[in-house]
Structure 1
């Protein structure tokens, strides 16, 4: 997304998505810890001015993103500030009710700078939100209000994006542009069955989103992209329902073992 620049030095970048639900239901999904953890990363939020937001991007606490809430107006708006390398960044979340029982969710990142040094990073950050906002929309369509157990495994591949897509998706029965198709794994692939919600594959990267009923009610998100080096492959499962926490470790081990076989570590 293009960075907006103002004469004052204020810069901003924004991403938005239309989702089903009332403002109150959507607010629960974007402004509470269990809600945002159900479609993004494990998160805790203290819902008040002065409260902390902590997003856990990995097992090491150094990977956490910690912010402070400076404005809190449920169910429509809150602002959290984080301290980054370029200075203070304000992230404004808004929920706007629309006709037909939907809402627009918008996030705007704002910072001050006198150079373009950080623009590309925030441009990429906004593109990342596009992907996660798809998960948010599907979550509110299929699993509104449910908490999730997150499983994430990753691999790398020295080759073309198209070859990485084929190695990962062929055993799963997924092809480009097969939205709405039912899929069920076979052979040595971990057990998985459901419906394709998105299947995009370009020379720059791929993104596949599945709604699963096996091994549990879940949303699976599989992406592959390169930043000038090997192809980075990430597979996430947002598991819902009573059995989610109990089978999360089993799912993690099965998929990590299988990914390592498909994409042997260097």
Structure 2
């Protein structure tokens, strides 16, 4: 049965409205993933077949699609409202994701809401620590064996994280290579690691029936997307004993 949904979040960040606008419109993969940037006009094309319905830089952006192409969703809309704070040195952001889920409403809403919190945390981390540095993006998806409620815990253990490592802790992670990082996000669904040059994002999607995913937003000037993606893919396969 079709039913509307709305996920609204508000936050402040140590960035100007112009910096926030650049982050959400450049679509380089700095905090989400590479995608088609929106055409800078009302009626312009945007990512995934959506259309720009509000364009007022650097204050208001809305993109909407009424032909989403997902079996469980028919309408999708994302809105950003951005206002200056402290004379333009900070920004207040209101983010609203809305639309219509056509099936499995509770599960779809739960997944979308929890992903929203993680994505917006990553946006703030990017703006605070890395903007406007160029990014190299890579990703890896775990095997089907990782699509369980225990999948994220297995990845955390393989990284060397303990139950006592809370958000904000400094850790030495055992990924494809050892690296020092801040555990900048941790809950039962996601793990975020921030180094001096990268954001590593781990998605424990087993609770929603999907495999673990890893994305790496690398701001080092010599970053190699293909090499990084392959290294994390091999490591992730090894966690779940897959060739």
> Residue 173 in 1 paired to residue 173 in 2?
no
Alignment correspondent of 2:54 = 71
Q: 32, 35, 38: which is aligned to 1:43?
A: 35
Answering whether residue 216 of structure 2 is matched by residue 237 of structure 1, we say: yes
Q: In 1, are the aligned partners of 2:170 and 2:183 still within 8 Å (CA)?
A: no
Report the 3-state secondary structure (helix = DSSP H, G, I; strand = E; otherwise coil) of the residue aligned with 1:21.
coil
**In structure 1, C-alpha distance between the alignment counterparts of 2:156 and 2:113, rounded to whole Å:** 26
User: Equivalents in 1 of 2:84, 2:138: separation in Å?
Assistant: 32
Instruction: Give 1:191 deviation, angstroms.
Output: 1.3
- The residue aligned with 1:220 is 200
TM-score (norm 2): 0.80
1:82 aligns with 2:65: yes
CA deviation string 1:76-111 (max 9, x = no partner): 001212123665443321112234833222222344
**Aligned counterpart, 2:131:** 144
Distance 1:18 1:197 in 2: 21
Secondary structure of 1:232's counterpart equals: coil
Partners of 1:118 and 1:83 in 2: how far apart?
Answer: 19
Larger Rg: 1
- Corresponding residue SS for 1:84: coil
Deviations 1:188-212 (A, max 9, x none): x41141322335343xx3x211112
Q: Distance in 2 between matches of 1:29 and 1:90?
A: 18
SS at match of 2:205: strand
Q: Does 1:157 align with 2:137?
A: no
1:17 maps onto 2:11 in alignment: yes
Deviation of 1:219 after TM superposition, in Å, equals 0.4
1:105 and 2:105 are equivalent in the alignment = no
Mapped partners of 2:241, 2:40: distance in 1: 44
Equivalent residue for 1:131, pick from 95, 118, 122:
118
Distance 2:75 2:236 in 1: 39
CA distance in 2, matches of 1:41, 1:80: 17
Quote the offset at 1:44 in angstroms: 2.0
Q: Partners of 2:186 and 2:19 in 1: how far apart?
A: 29
* Deviation per residue, 1:142-187 (Å, 9 max, x gap): 101122111111214368645x44532234232344334333345x
Deviates more, 1:172-181 or 1:75-84: 172-181
Asked whether 1:260 is paired with 2:211, we answer: no
Higher strand share: 1
Contact 2:147 2:211 (8 Å CA) reproduced = no
CA RMSD in angstroms, aligned pairs only: 3.0
* Equivalenced residues, count: 232
**Offset from partner CA, 1:18-41 (integer Å, 9 cap, x none):** 32201111111112233xx21012
